[in-house]
Amino acid sequence: MTPSSPAESTASRSRDARRPLEGLLVVSLEQAVAAPYCSSRLADAGARVIKIERPEGDFARGYDAAVHGLSSYFVWLNRGKQSLVADIKSPDDAALLHRMLEKADVFIQNLAPGAAARAGFGAEELRRRYPRLITVDVSGYGSGHAYAGMKAYDLLVQAESGLAAITGHPAGPGRVGVSVCDIACGMSAYAAVLEALIARSINGEGRRLEVSLFDGMADWMNVPLLYFEGTGKAPQRVGLAHPSICPYGAFETSDGALVLLSIQNEREWARFCASVLEAPELPRAPGYESNTARVANRAEVDARVARLFATLTRQQAAARLDAAGTAYGFVNEVADLVNHPALRRVEVATPGGLASIVAPPAIHDGAAPVLGPVPGIGEHDALIRAEFAVPQAA
């Protein structure tokens, strides 16, 4: 194998540094969370994302003012995009959008049901006019049924999908504390766009994609659904415990910490009993001899574990669990996350100054990610309108 020349090495490094979606144009008529989540990941991967906003801006800009006057949601989901203020009901702005779509690779929209089609930007029409275009319709409940026209937001879908019914304390349903339905939808849309881009590289054709908040969460609800259909019983709300594994839950230490431990098999249970509970004979006792028996005897098992942890400090509990090889973690507050040793962060520029956000999960070749700035409302109006202006006659 011959060594690379300096020129070849430089070219190779340049290719390696280039983000995989550079050169692609994404036009996104978006607001809130699900669609911006999808387009933000495309922007992270190098695509040029033009975010079309109303004159007052994406309403998610005003969810809070925690990050230099911008909302935490908006800063998280809109890094690396360009902002264009446009009214698609205006003939001039509609024509501008069509000129953009002539060159675009992906068009994403999550307007109210039917709004994009009424404005002349329905997926069927766009796919007919622009055969290489990948269209992404993000909705609350999908199409072709009684719920198709309903507005949907994350918590509504948590409730409708059954997620809230299996979340929280036995006293009542609970909300997952982040926008999990929006995120599931946005992640699914991002994966589908990447698949469509691969397919287009083979056959030259775009694709019409539909992704809904409900479908995204319904997919995540497969296990509770299949369990219910197979047993006639839905998983019970058990707070910080597992409905079908015991012991798997949170126990308070003598200094007030909550340690969450997880026993996954009988070998781990035996080691836990010997090293943590200091009761090596316990796995042979009635009600303790198998996971099924322990689940049926949960109150007694958990009470025994709780009595032990109530005598240990957080540090002592961690030492015993480490020695036993038991999986565990501590129930942290959000304030504890700030200094968590595993937390990775990255800076992004915002109109109000630099913000430190959590880094994207995937690490590429060990390099820290470089994320583009968060745009101000209409920050790129002049640039984009000049670029896609109607050519003047000679």
DSSP 136: E
Given a cut of 50, is residue 319 above it in pLDDT? Answer: yes
What value does the mean pLDDT take over residues 371-390?
94
pLDDT of residue 11: 38
Q: Which one has a higher pLDDT value, 103 or 3?
A: 103
**pLDDT confidence band for 8 (50 / 70 / 90):** very low
pTM beyond cutoff 0.85: yes
Which residues are known catalytic residues? 242
141-181 pLDDT tens trace: 999 999 999 989 999 999 999 999 999 988 999 999 999 99
Residue 61, Ramachandran bin (φ over 0: left; ψ between -120 and 50: alpha; else beta): alpha
The helix/strand/coil state of 147 is coil
What does DSSP say about strands 208-212 and 134-139: parallel, antiparallel, or unpaired? parallel
- Any residues with CB less than 8 A from the CB of 58 and at least 6 apart, and which? 30, 31, 32, 36, 51, 74, 78
pLDDT of residue 38: 98
27 within 8 A of 50, measured Cβ to Cβ: yes
pLDDT of residue 1: 33
Given a cut of 80, is residue 298 above it in pLDDT? Answer: yes
- Of 211, 24, 187, nearest in space to 110 by CA: 211
170 within 8 A of 238, measured Cβ to Cβ: yes
Dihedral sign (CA 67, 73, 78, 84): negative
254-285 pLDDT tens trace: 999 999 999 999 999 999 999 999 999 999 99
**pLDDT confidence band for 16 (50 / 70 / 90):** very low
Q: Which one has a higher pLDDT value, 393 or 53?
A: 53
CA 345 – CA 366 distance, rounded (Å): 14
**pLDDT confidence band for 17 (50 / 70 / 90):** low
190-207 pLDDT tens trace: 999 999 999 999 999 999
